[in-house]
Structure 1
Amino acid sequence: MNHAMRPVLSASVACVLAWGTFARAQVPRPGPSFHEAVGMAWAIDPIRTELQVGHNSARARARAAGSWFAGGPTLSGEYMDDHMLGSNEGYTTYQGGVSVPLWLPGQGSATQQVASAEAASIDEQLNVEHMALSIRVLDAGAAALIARSRVDVAHVLYDATARMATSATRAVHGGELASTDGQMAQAAMENARNELALAQEEAENARAALEVLLGHPVIPDIARYGGADVTHARFIAVRDMEENDPRIQAAHHTVEAAEANMKLARRSFMPNPEIGVDAIHEKQYGSPWDDRVGLNFSIPLPSEVRNTPIMSEARNRLASATSQETQARRMVHLEMMRVRERLIAATTARQATRTAAENMDRRAEAQEHAWRLGEASLDMALAARQAAASTRLACARADVEWHVASIRMLIATGTVP
């Protein structure tokens, strides 16, 4: 047997270094930082545009509520004469007026408070969307990196099985190996080829999904963030972390907007009264022209038929906002615990899989060497290679997930690294 062919990866090379070599080979230029990637996604995020329009609208409503009157002026006019009655005595009347609705006591300031509270709520919703977008970028970037590591592992496995299949074919032709072993080696190589094709498909899909999110065909370099960033981060108490979470802040501002709306509903206990000026210009039979000027007012009286639905809707809105705030606090508290535990578990998994990958690489090399010397069967050598590939992929996945958990912890503290 020919002993010159050696495995592509030496036993001393960890799977993390193998992943780094592959990433550098596939990406000629270094990818953007995670912070830059989030900025790319934020610049083209459609939800951000929608929320900004809503914020501007709420601010405009707050400014409009500072008007002296509760609405725009109303113009009225009348024209009457006696010609349609079949007479021509010269009775002609022109009448016109203008009136404006008045604020009820405290209604104007309550309207401003509602609009301002809604604008503040949308401000926090922007922060919530930015946080959610950061997590989406993180997950998409991690999926792309893991998919590329799967391609890397599949390449290594295919190279190893192809090398063993070539040696087995020569051995079969030389009468040194049974044909069934040659068929086994060819089947292993074809399975590795199929795995490589599937891995390349997954990598392309992950890359396309990330490009749609970022607007650029790049993969963020999340490997630069790790335990040192978490260690040096300025942590605060868990309670303060929860209170500063934008999801809780948004829910709290929604409650404030609902409370302001309840106050406005109480202030709007009746339709707005109107006051205005009328002018009359008329001509009567046998009399000179007559002009008159006067005031007019209209005061609709309160009605339970009108007020009850308004108050009911305001109460329902406040109850819903209060319930959502309670649910948001519970959800954020649970998520904080999960993020912390995920980081602890990811740290352990990273260390364990790295050691396991190194050991499985050594075992695969030893089994292949023993097979070439006739001291081990082919199926054992192939199984060792497959097991080494699976462990190496688990190692690369654990390494990416550790970086993801570190960044997720930083995001939970209110920092986008």
Structure 2
Amino acid sequence: MAFAQDGSPGLKAAVDAAWQRSPQARTLEARRDETLAGREAAQSWIAGSPTLGLAQRSDRWTDQNGGRETEVSVAAPIWLPGQKAARESLAQSSSDDLEAQIAATRLALAGEVRERLWAVAAAHEALSETEHHQHHLEAIAEEVLRRVKAGDLARTDGMLAQQEVLAARGAVAAAQAKLQEALGRYRVLTGQPSIPVLEVEPIAGNMAEPHPRLAAVRTALQRSQASLNVVNRTRSDPPTVGLSMRREQGNFAGPASRSVGIAVQIPFGTAARNRPLETAARTQIETATAEAAQAEVMLKADVDLAREQLDAARRSLEAASSRASLTRQHTELIEKAFKAGERGLADLLRSQALSHEAEVAERQQKVALGLAHARLNQALGILP
């Protein structure tokens, strides 16, 4: 059936290996720290970094009466009502969106691994059948040469048989090159030297819930909506509240006095500040909404196409198997007639070529059926 090596890792291990080598996967996983930092910042009770101030005033360089004033202050921006909750919602939406992107990227990578594995299987089946055909032609050539020496066949028949053997060897070399190319592509993707045991995947009964592709576009829409909510809640920069302690002394002999002060700074939002932010957020929502609608349509089309391809692969395999059976029976009859001297070498070689073509077609259709199973599971969002 398909190409396999005993003891090699399975399909899931191959996908895991490809994931570890993927630059996009590394980038997405590294962004988890960013989202975690964003969630921690959103959960803070202050809207930014606090500041510490120190001021000192003295008349040492002017009146020299001993007047001194020292002030220490602490200030921090604070959230307005609803801002903290909006930013927490945005941070959570960003985290959910990232996880959905990771799942969708892993699904896409699994599809690439599936494609390359079945490409290796197809190349291996083609090589196996080509080698089998070569060995069969070599056996025929030996029989023809023996009969040429015995005087039963002409020398031209011997030359024709040897030409077919040489052509078969060239076909084997070409098939080996294609197999090595397919193996190279798989190894570049996964970094694994061995090929997993490849079996036809059982078709999933239902679509994955949630489907990684749909989840990715839906969470992107939710993040865009949360971003607009933050813009609406943040019409200006956060106000700043400060607490200060002042120590004053009027002259050398006078007593020192202490006081505590509270300061509030409230920035005013303007249309020039808020309009671009709001417009950008609404643009993101429109884009995400369109992408979500398109993804649902494309996903349904992909699943329908995959089911149709699976049905076509089944019908093609049935036809190819029937044809291969008939050509094998026909070739067996021609071989018997050739050995009995009733049919010529050209008839036998033509029958062998047709039989080889039918065998290759049957093997390739078996691979195509396995690939159709994998593609349907891929469309359904099933990860290995």
CA distance in 1, matches of 2:190, 2:360: 26
Name 2:356's counterpart in structure 1: 389
| C-alpha spacing 1:283/1:380, structure 2 compared with 1 (3 Å) | farther
CA distance in 2, matches of 1:142, 1:189: 29
Question: CA offset at residue 413 of structure 1?
Answer: 4.2
Amino acid at match of 2:178: E
Q: 1:297 aligns with which of 264, 269, 277?
A: 264
| C-alpha spacing 1:372/1:72, structure 2 compared with 1 (3 Å) | same
Name 1:6's counterpart in structure 2: none
User: What is the TM-score with the length of structure 2 in the denominator?
Assistant: 0.87
Amino acid at match of 1:244: P
Q: Determine if the alignment matches structure 1 residue 69 to structure 2 residue 46.
A: yes
Cα offsets for 1:244-301 (capped at 9, x unmatched): 3221122111111111111111111011110112234455556645544312221111
Q: 1:104 aligns with which of 68, 80, 83?
A: 80
Q: 1:51 aligns with which of 20, 24, 28?
A: 28
Question: CA offset at residue 306 of structure 1?
Answer: 1.2
Three-state SS of the structure 1 residue aligned to 2:269 is coil
Name 1:274's counterpart in structure 2: 240
Cα offsets for 1:71-117 (capped at 9, x unmatched): 1102233345567x788665654433221001122111000111111
Q: Determine if the alignment matches structure 1 residue 139 to structure 2 residue 115.
A: yes
Q: Determine if the alignment matches structure 1 residue 252 to structure 2 residue 218.
A: yes
CA distance in 1, matches of 2:95, 2:366: 42
Amino acid at match of 1:261: S
Note if contact 1:73-1:98 (Cα within 8 Å) is conserved in structure 2. yes
Three-state SS of the structure 2 residue aligned to 1:223 is coil
**What is the RMSD of the two structures over their aligned residues, measured on CA atoms?**
2.9
CA distance in 1, matches of 2:353, 2:64: 111
Note if contact 2:208-2:381 (Cα within 8 Å) is conserved in structure 1. no
Note if contact 1:222-1:404 (Cα within 8 Å) is conserved in structure 2. no
CA distance in 2, matches of 1:186, 1:87: 119
Three-state SS of the structure 2 residue aligned to 1:376 is coil
Q: 2:98 aligns with which of 119, 122, 138?
A: 122
Cα offsets for 1:174-217 (capped at 9, x unmatched): 55544444333222222211111121122223223333444433
Name 2:192's counterpart in structure 1: 216
Question: Which ranges of structure 1 fall in alignment gaps of 5 or more residues?
Answer: 1-18, 236-240
Q: 1:351 aligns with which of 308, 311, 318?
A: 318
Question: CA offset at residue 388 of structure 1?
Answer: 2.0
Note if contact 2:200-2:373 (Cα within 8 Å) is conserved in structure 1. no
Question: CA offset at residue 392 of structure 1?
Answer: 1.4
Name 2:301's counterpart in structure 1: 334
Amino acid at match of 1:159: H
Name 1:199's counterpart in structure 2: 175
CA distance in 2, matches of 1:38, 1:132: 10
Question: CA offset at residue 321 of structure 1?
Answer: 0.8
CA distance in 2, matches of 1:89, 1:171: 133
Note if contact 2:67-2:251 (Cα within 8 Å) is conserved in structure 1. yes
Note if contact 1:59-1:116 (Cα within 8 Å) is conserved in structure 2. no
Q: How does 1:225-244 map to 2 (within 5 A)?
A: 225=201, 229-230=202-203, 234-235=205-206, 241=207, 244=210
CA distance in 1, matches of 2:164, 2:220: 60
Note if contact 1:82-1:88 (Cα within 8 Å) is conserved in structure 2. yes
CA distance in 2, matches of 1:251, 1:245: 10
| C-alpha spacing 1:77/1:183, structure 2 compared with 1 (3 Å) | farther
CA distance in 2, matches of 1:365, 1:167: 15
Name 2:126's counterpart in structure 1: 150
Question: Which ranges of structure 2 fall in alignment gaps of 5 or more residues?
Answer: none
Name 1:261's counterpart in structure 2: 227
Note if contact 1:223-1:400 (Cα within 8 Å) is conserved in structure 2. no
What is the percentage of aligned positions where both structures have the same residue?
27
Note if contact 2:200-2:374 (Cα within 8 Å) is conserved in structure 1. no
CA distance in 2, matches of 1:35, 1:102: 49
| C-alpha spacing 1:415/1:170, structure 2 compared with 1 (3 Å) | same
Question: CA offset at residue 414 of structure 1?
Answer: 4.8
User: What is the TM-score with the length of structure 1 in the denominator?
Assistant: 0.81
Note if contact 1:281-1:291 (Cα within 8 Å) is conserved in structure 2. yes
Name 2:273's counterpart in structure 1: 306
| C-alpha spacing 1:177/1:103, structure 2 compared with 1 (3 Å) | same
Three-state SS of the structure 1 residue aligned to 2:244 is strand
CA distance in 1, matches of 2:59, 2:139: 112
Question: CA offset at residue 362 of structure 1?
Answer: 2.7
| C-alpha spacing 1:31/1:224, structure 2 compared with 1 (3 Å) | farther
Note if contact 1:242-1:333 (Cα within 8 Å) is conserved in structure 2. no
**Equivalent residues, number:** 383
Name 2:345's counterpart in structure 1: 378
Note if contact 2:232-2:278 (Cα within 8 Å) is conserved in structure 1. yes
Q: How does 1:85-96 map to 2 (within 5 A)?
A: 93-96=69-72
Cα offsets for 1:301-355 (capped at 9, x unmatched): 1112211111111111111111110111111010010111111111111111112
| C-alpha spacing 1:86/1:192, structure 2 compared with 1 (3 Å) | farther
